[in-house]
Amino acid sequence: MPDAIATALDERNALAERIALQEGEIASLSGEVLERYEEATFVYRLSERIGTVLGEASIAELVLDDVARVLGARRGAIWLRADDCTWRREAAWPGPDHDGPGLDALGLPEAIAAGRPWMREGFAGDGPAIAVAIPDAEGAPLGAIVLASRASGRSYRAGDLKLLAAVASLASAFVRNHRLSDKARRADAREREDEIARQVHRGLLPREDPSVEGLDVSGGFRAAEIVGGDFYGYVLPADGSLGLAMADVSGHGVGAALYMATAKGAVQSEGRRIVSPADLLARTNEVLLADFSGTDVFATALFARFYPRDGRLVYANAGHNPPLLVRAKGESTWLPASGPALGILAGAAYRESTLAFGAGDALFVYTDGLVEARDAQRRFFGVDRLVGLARSLGDLPASRTREAIFAALDAHVGAAAPHDDVTLVVVRGLPARPARTRR
């Protein structure tokens, strides 16, 4: 009997121990479940609050403020990687004037770059620290959340690390969404700017070629994907001559278009009053310097006057690509620059030259986009190809000559995207009309 009682007592004690152990496990699980529930609630509420702020700095400040408070951190920082791969501190705890823990000071770059979490136990005089990478969909870390020291003095635990990693993933989603939205906004702004530049540009180009007795004139323009600064135009004074202007403004977009509009205005207004091409370029240079002082914009330009009744051509060249003059018998010559580009040097002087220009002669005026166009192997269209075409096309009308050169350009470039605008004007001298006889 005593043995049976002893056995029963042992079984009861064992059962009590198992019950106590299970109760402890249940209490531990309940605490863990409650802790996970609180963490899930925290992350959920944080996600709602992040959706109400704009900008990377605001997102970082909100995230750091909440997670530092929940985990009891005394110091903290969020670092984000910029487009140039440099790291910048976007937020600091407990405030913007606080330096927060530095990445280099904590020896974090290698761990963060590898996407690994990082923890340091608290030792005498050196508090605990914890850090996780803010992940990026492309593999490289988008940033890092770093917390150092705690008000409680205890070290960070694995649960703290999991919570911080969850917050980092949440922050990553919002930062990446902000960057994508910002990129889309910038793309839309650039697209709108390019469209404005295209409209300005189209309004500056001639709608049709002029009809001048003794000359056959045809001009054309090919736009690159990004609007450039090519311009050409005509001046038709009452003396029966033809003024031809061409300019190539540095840069692209609205700025180049506005500079080009100013150049056109100066040429059109002054070209009817100033006969000399050299004086006209000098005056246009002063206008551009006055309107665009302090900018790095400039323009190469050429202005030529054709006098078909006298059989002569007068021109001045402000740093522009030398036009090609092909004589009726096939000889060719270049018309070099006679002064600096416009908008660079105040008081610049330009030299003008006079040449014979008669029936069968042809002048090819172009921008660098023509001769510098490249094929898939990066080979230039080149001046030699232009000379060969100009000579071979003989007495074709100016419009057919221009289109033939554009066709050769298209064949050379192929599927390669044009990197610059292309402008070409062809002027041919025509035989004089026979005089009418009175009966």
What's 152's DSSP letter? T
Q: State whether residue 436 is helix, strand or coil.
A: coil
Q: What's the token pair of residue 165?
A: 């990693």
| C-alpha span between 325 and 427 (Å, rounded) | 10
Q: What's the token pair of residue 275?
A: 């006969």
AA identity, residue 287: V
- Under the banding of pLDDT at 50, 70 and 90, the label for residue 186 is confident
What pLDDT is attached to residue 110? Answer: 61
Task: Please name the residue that has the structure tokens 């050379």.
Answer: 412
Query: What digits encode the pLDDT tens for the residues 143-172?
Result: 888 888 888 778 888 888 888 888 888 888
Strand-pairing partners, residue 364, are 324, 426
Count CB neighbours of 357 within 10 A: 25
What pLDDT is attached to residue 407? Answer: 94
Percent share of the chain, pLDDT over 70:
80
pLDDT of 224 over the 90 cut? no
| C-alpha span between 277 and 280 (Å, rounded) | 5
Q: Which of 20-24, 204-208, 249-253 has the highest mean pLDDT?
A: 204-208
Query: What digits encode the pLDDT tens for the residues 291-302?
Result: 777 777 888 999
Whether 215 and 398 have beta carbons less than 8 Å apart is answered as no
For range 274-278, the mean pLDDT: 91
Q: Which of 50-64, 115-129, 136-150, 372-386 has the highest mean pLDDT?
A: 372-386
Specify the pTM: 0.63
Tell me whether residue 83 is exposed, middle or buried, using C-beta atoms within 10 angstroms of its C-beta: 0 to 12, 13 to 18, 19 or more.
Answer: exposed
What pLDDT is attached to residue 126? Answer: 60
**Closest Cα partner for 264 from 239, 296, 241, 233?**
233
The lowest-confidence range among 43-47, 147-151, 306-310 is 43-47
Task: Please name the residue that has the structure tokens 């500056």.
Answer: 204
| C-alpha span between 339 and 318 (Å, rounded) | 5
Tell me whether residue 32 is exposed, middle or buried, using C-beta atoms within 10 angstroms of its C-beta: 0 to 12, 13 to 18, 19 or more.
Answer: exposed
Count of alpha carbons within 13 angstroms of residue 368, beta-carbon side: 14
Percent share of the chain, pLDDT over 90:
31
Write the CB contacts of 133 (distance below 8 Å, at least 6 apart in sequence).
112, 115, 116, 117, 141, 142, 143, 144, 168
Whether 134 and 142 have beta carbons less than 8 Å apart is answered as yes
For range 321-347, the mean pLDDT: 93
Percent helix / strand / coil, the chain, rounded to 5: 40, 25, 35
